[in-house]
């Protein structure tokens, strides 16, 4: 038997067979699975796991104990040490629950509806609006951090089906930061947006509205006037000027 295993190793799985004693990838059996049924063939589990990595845009070590570049047989896939693995397990249960409910919905014209991690995640670990991530960064760590967060996310995800890098996201982020009286952060974010989308009339209205939150009517008037200059048909900007007692 040993001999047969050894021969198979050479032929089929040389990487696995260079492992130290005890460590083996893929494992023969499942040890610590609470959502995946125990009898599931390991090969199918590995397939599910590969899907997770592409759905979330990560590698195995995002959820499992192990390092980049380390052979998989040295990973500890059994351990529940990482918070992300524990969250992922909850997410698996949630997806099962959603799909159970979808089965009973009269939608889809007979086609089977199936939710996966990717329905929400689309290659990211945090499937939330981009504005939320920028507001979080600005609130937690200031203007530079908000700008850095945006640039980093844009670098990584632009052109993917992940986050909306259109003009609206940073306007929304700036507006929310202004609402939380984080004015430096709000204006830093608008400045970045202005670089990316110069001469937007709508963005000038945002600038004016945030200036009003700051009770800076001089800056607000200038911003609303700039909006009208950029687009003479911007009725919202004209309305805002009237609202603060200025002739449009
Ligand atoms: C998003 C998080 C996540 C990623 C990424 C991920 N896994 Fe997992 N993995 C889990 C969870 C959660 C379980 C436990 C499932 C359960 O409890 O039913 C698990 C279980 C396993 C198991 C079974 C361990 C045991 O207890 O027997 C193996 C093997 C495994 N993963 C391999 C991988 C490999 C290989 C990769 C990379 C290709 C990977 N995983 C990527 C979350 C992840
Ligand atoms: C219905 C939408 C939805 C589905 C489906 C979904 N997730 Fe999530 N997931 C979320 C949201 C929302 C968050 C929290 C994002 C945030 O605010 O950080 C999240 C967070 C996570 C996190 C924690 C990220 C972190 O860094 O804190 C993991 C891990 C994760 N999901 C894994 C999965 C896996 C694996 C699946 C498929 C089995 C899945 N999710 C399916 C919406 C979803």
| Position 102 confidence tier, pLDDT thresholds 50, 70, 90 | confident
Map out the domains of the chain as residue ranges: 19-125, 130-243
| pLDDT at residue 9 tops 80 | no
Q: How confident is the model at residue 30 (pLDDT cuts 50, 70, 90)?
A: very high
Whether residue 25 has its Cβ less than 6 Å from ligand 1: no
Q: Is the CB of 87 under 6 A from ligand 2?
A: yes
Confidence of residue 113 (pLDDT cuts 50, 70, 90): confident
Whether the per-residue pLDDT at 46 is higher than 50: the answer is yes
Q: Which ligand is nearest to the CA of 102?
A: 2
Q: List the structure tokens of 180.
A: 């939380």
In this predicted model, which residue has the larger pLDDT, 106 or 98?
98
H helix intervals, the chain: 2-12, 14-17, 42-56, 83-103, 117-121, 130-141, 143-157, 167-179, 183-196, 201-213, 217-230, 235-243
DSSP secondary structure code for residue 58 in this structure: -
Average pLDDT estimate for 233-239 = 97
176-208 pLDDT tens trace: 999 999 999 999 999 999 999 999 999 999 999
Q: What is the mean pLDDT of the chain?
A: 91
Please choose from 80, 91, 137 the residue to mutate so as to test ligand 2's pocket, defined by most ligand atoms within 8 A of CB: 91
pLDDT of residue 229: 97
pLDDT of 165 reads 98
| Spatial separation of the C-alpha atoms in residues 142 and 165, rounded to whole Å | 21
pLDDT surpassing 50 at residue 8: no
pTM of the model as a whole:
0.88
Find all residues with CB under 8 Å of 239, minimum gap 6, and list them: none
| Record: fold of 130-243 | 1.25.40
Mutate to test the pocket of ligand 2, among 55, 117, 119, 140 (most ligand atoms within 8 A of CB): 117
pLDDT higher than threshold 80 for residue 11: no
Q: Out of 23-32, 134-143, 195-204, 229-238, pick the least confident.
A: 23-32
Q: Provide mean pLDDT across the span 31-49.
A: 97
Amino acid 190: pLDDT:
98
Backbone torsions φ then ψ of 65, nearest 5 degrees:
-75, 115
Q: Which long-range contacts (CB under 8 A, 24 or more apart) does 61-64 make?
A: 62/125, 63/88
């Amino acid at each position: 038997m040993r001999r047969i295993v050894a021969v198979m190793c050479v032929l089929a799985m040389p990487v696995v067979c260079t492992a130290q004693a005890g460590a083996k990838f893929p494992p023969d059996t499942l040890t610590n699975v609470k959502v995946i049924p125990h009898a599931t063939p390991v090969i199918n589990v590995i397939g599910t796991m590969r899907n997770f990595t592409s759905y979330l845009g990560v590698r195995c070590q995002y959820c499992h104990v192990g390092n980049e570049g380390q052979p998989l047989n040295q990973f500890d896939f059994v351990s529940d040490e990482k918070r992300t693995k524990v969250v992922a397990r909850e997410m698996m249960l949630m997806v099962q629950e959603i799909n159970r409910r979808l089965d009973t919905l009269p939608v889809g014209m007979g086609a089977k509806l199936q939710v996966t991690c990717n329905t929400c995640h689309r290659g990211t670990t945090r499937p939330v609006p981009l504005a939320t991530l920028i507001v979080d960064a600005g609130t937690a760590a200031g203007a530079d951090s908000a700008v850095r967060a945006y640039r980093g996310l844009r670098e990584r995800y632009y052109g993917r089906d992940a986050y909306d890098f259109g003009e609206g996201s940073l306007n929304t982020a700036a507006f929310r930061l202004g609402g939380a009286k984080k004015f430096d952060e709000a204006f830093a974010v608008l400045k970045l947006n202005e670089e990316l989308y110069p001469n937007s009339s709508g963005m000038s209205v945002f600038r004016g509205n945030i200036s009003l939150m700051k009770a800076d009517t001089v800056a607000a008037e200038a911003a609303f006037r700039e909006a009208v200059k950029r687009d003479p048909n911007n009725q919202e900007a004209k309305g805002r000027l009237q609202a603060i007692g200025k002739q449009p």
